[in-house]
Amino acid sequence: MEVSQGNKEELEAVEEVSVPNIIGLSIKEAEKILKETGLELSIEGITEENQETVDKENTIIKEQTPTEGIKINKGNKIFIKY
């Protein structure tokens, strides 16, 4: 069986972005900032089905992974705890 490495040009075209600081923001504010940056938000300990039960306007983020300033690929997730 042969495994392809993919197209080299496609692999090199992945854009890196700097992780913004979202600690102290509401989940709703953080989602907006991350979307503008090309990143996604994931709430640790909450399944996608249960995310609707979280009050995103009033829930404040206490921790984030990875931390501010780290370079990651666009499209990656930032994990938060509140």
- Name the residue range of residue 71's domain: 19-81
The count of structural domains within the chain is 1
Q: What CATH number is given to the structural domain containing 63?
A: 3.30.10.20
Spatial separation of the C-alpha atoms in residues 39 and 66, rounded to whole Å: 12
In this structure, is residue 5 part of a structural domain?
Answer: no
Per-residue exposure over 34-64, b if at least 16 CB sit within 10 Å of its own CB, e if not: beebebebebeeeeeeeeeeeebeebebeeb
d(CA 34, CA 37): 5
Cis peptide before 66 (omega within 30 of 0): yes
- pLDDT greater at residue 10 or residue 56: 56
| Tens-digit pLDDT profile for residues 37-47 | 999 999 988 88
4 inside domain: no
pLDDT at residue 59 tops 60: yes
Mean pLDDT, rounded, for 4-10? 58
Is 3 within the bounds of a domain? no
Which among 62, 52, 73 has a CA at the least distance from the CA of 30?
Answer: 62
